């Protein structure tokens, strides 16, 4: 039950109704006088002691009330009414105690009155005021929001074997967009991560360092390669498909066409695919998301969409089918695992711009780390199939990482977020 909270004026009004008393003694004088009277009482006859014992008590009460009336206006009342009446009275008692007790007693009083931050958090959790999952929530692996003056740029990095694209989302100001696209490795260095470091598990984008010009009004991007850069493009028989997939990830959200040049001349020679002068981008793709695992124990992950431009996969046409598709990993995707492993009973559907994801009665969220990857893969996939927010049904827990499964969750702005 919540305690009544008084304002400063209300508390002062209540205190003003106390019996008025005047006493010029300070706390030390009062304490010494009481001690002297108590020592005198100890040597008095029993009857006299009993008859006179009320005198020092009444004197002490009157003096204490007077002292309290003087000290209360000096208390540091908070303007935001955070202190309750009980807390105010405790503060006054503590002030009096510090005036009349030893240093050890003062230390005990202070430790009892003030909890450490950790103790305060634990007490709040015990009282149900703060969900433990919220306090300990890990950071999202996806981009959930950006400042008003910033844009989202997805840099299409590659796996070390150059078999599929791993989109990494950056938040940049508009005038820095071109620089980030030209220098994906520089952007990652600014995030204290090198793209060729083992702990990152990625290599640069195929157009890293290429001259890029954009025309927002015409919705076009122009990439001008040097001959040396064209020579470094070839990473295998699927170079052209991988290149198109990279362009799609980087530019499709804001542009419709990519114009290719070599030393200022039209076209880039892709050998088997021939010379390509421009690429038309698809505004919206429908791709389920998986996990790309790397590291010595394969326990580090990136979220990756199914690479439709590189494989013969038949991508589902609905979100409901996509959720089922995500439960099994196609053979065409090496080092890819399902984000839904252990959650095979989950189902999904899209109603208008809302995706509804339903868990079974036996859903087990005891491994919260894997549950967060699962939630984020579903959120990204829902966005691919036209949803702008997601609701969860029958979730066995309220919080998974930063996500409240009892609330409406907006779809991410991009996968694999970096500062």
Give percent of the chain above pLDDT 90. Answer: 39
pLDDT at 390 over 90: yes
Choice between 378 and 169, residue whose per-residue pLDDT is larger: 378
Strand 389-393 and strand 409-410: the pairing is: antiparallel
Give residue 120's pLDDT. Answer: 46
Average pLDDT value for residue range 264-272: 91
pLDDT at 105 over 70: no
Q: What is the extent of the structural domain holding 404? A: 289-414
Dihedral, CA atoms, 74, 79, 85, 86, nearest 10 degrees? -90
Residue 366 lies in a domain: yes
Whether 387 and 410 share a structural domain: yes
Average pLDDT value for residue range 390-394: 98
Choice between 118 and 25, residue whose per-residue pLDDT is larger: 25
Whole-prediction pTM: 0.66
Residue 145 lies in a domain: no
Give residue 22's pLDDT. Answer: 58
Range 145-154 burial, b when 16+ CB lie within 10 A, else e: ebeeeebbbb
Chain mean pLDDT for the chain: 76
Residue 419 lies in a domain: no
Residue 139 lies in a domain: no
Final residue before a domain boundary, out of 280, 307, 325: 280
Give residue 13's pLDDT. Answer: 66
Whether 166 and 272 share a structural domain: yes
Whether 238 and 303 share a structural domain: no
Whether 34 and 104 share a structural domain: yes
Whether 270 and 359 share a structural domain: no
Residue 144 lies in a domain: no
**Residue range 124-139, pLDDT digits in tens:** 445 554 444 444 557 8
Give residue 331's pLDDT. Answer: 78
Whether 164 and 266 share a structural domain: yes
Query: What is d(CA 164, CA 305) in angstroms, rounded to the nearest whole number?
Result: 9
Residue 135 lies in a domain: no
Whether 83 and 54 share a structural domain: yes
pLDDT at 143 over 50: yes
Residue 140 lies in a domain: no
pLDDT at 51 over 50: no
Whether 251 and 320 share a structural domain: no
Query: What is d(CA 188, CA 196) in angstroms, rounded to the nearest whole number?
Result: 10
Query: What is d(CA 243, CA 292) in angstroms, rounded to the nearest whole number?
Result: 19
Whether 30 and 109 share a structural domain: yes
Residues β-bridged to residue 294: 300
pLDDT at 183 over 80: no
Q: Give residues with Cβ within 8 angstroms of 76, minimum separation 6.
A: none
Place of tokens 């894997």: 370
Whether 294 and 255 share a structural domain: no
Number of compact structural domains in the chain: 3
Whether 14 and 81 share a structural domain: yes
Residue 328 lies in a domain: yes
Question: Angle CA(146)–CA(193)–CA(293) in degrees, nearest 5?
Answer: 90
CB 178 within 8 A of CB 197: no
pLDDT at 309 over 80: no
Residues β-bridged to residue 168: 155
Whether 34 and 106 share a structural domain: yes
Query: What is d(CA 340, CA 367) in angstroms, rounded to the nearest whole number?
Result: 12
């Amino acid at each position: 039950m919540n305690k009544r909270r008084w304002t400063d004026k209300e508390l002062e009004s209540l205190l003003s109704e106390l019996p008025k008393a005047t006493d010029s003694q300070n706390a030390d004088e009062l304490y010494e006088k009481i001690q002297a009277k108590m020592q005198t009482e100890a040597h008095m006859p029993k009857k006299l002691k009993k008859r006179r014992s009320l005198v020092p008590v009444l004197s002490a009460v009157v003096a204490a009330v007077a002292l309290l009336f003087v000290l209360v206006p000096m208390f540091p009342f908070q303007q935001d009414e955070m202190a309750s009446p009980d807390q105010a009275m405790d503060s006054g008692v503590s002030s009096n105690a510090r005036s009349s007790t030893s240093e050890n007693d003062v230390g005990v009083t202070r430790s009892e009155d003030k909890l450490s931050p950790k103790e305060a958090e634990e007490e709040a959790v015990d009282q149900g005021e703060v969900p433990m999952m919220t306090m300990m929530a890990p950071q999202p692996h996806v981009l959930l929001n950006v400042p008003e003056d910033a844009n989202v740029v997805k840099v299409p990095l590659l796996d070390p074997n150059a078999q599929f694209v791993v989109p990494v989302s950056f938040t940049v100001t508009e005038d820095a967009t071109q620089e980030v696209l030209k220098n994906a490795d520089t952007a990652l260095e600014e995030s204290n991560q090198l793209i060729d470091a083992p702990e990152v598990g990625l290599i640069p984008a195929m157009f890293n360092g290429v001259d890029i010009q954009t025309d927002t009004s015409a919705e076009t991007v122009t990439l001008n390669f040097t001959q040396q850069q064209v020579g470094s493009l070839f990473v295998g028989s699927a170079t052209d498909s991988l290149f198109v997939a990279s362009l799609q990830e980087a530019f499709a959200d804001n542009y419709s066409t990519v114009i290719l040049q070599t030393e200022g001349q039209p076209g880039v020679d892709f050998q088997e695919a021939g010379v390509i002068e421009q690429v038309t981008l698809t505004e919206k793709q429908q791709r389920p998301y998986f996990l790309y695992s790397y590291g010595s124990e394969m326990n580090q992950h990136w979220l990756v969409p199914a690479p439709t431009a590189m494989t013969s996969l038949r991508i589902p046409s609905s979100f409901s089918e996509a959720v089922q598709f995500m439960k099994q990993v196609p053979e065409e995707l090496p080092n890819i695992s399902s984000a839904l492993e252990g959650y095979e009973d989950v189902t999904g559907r899209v109603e208008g711009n809302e995706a509804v994801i339903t868990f079974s009665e036996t859903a087990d969220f005891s491994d919260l780390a894997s549950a967060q990857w699962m939630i984020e893969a579903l959120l990204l996939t829902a966005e691919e199939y036209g949803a702008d927010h997601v609701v969860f049904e029958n979730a066995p827990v309220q919080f998974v990482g930063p996500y409240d499964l009892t609330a409406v969750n907006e779809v991410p702005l991009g996968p694999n977020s970096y500062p």
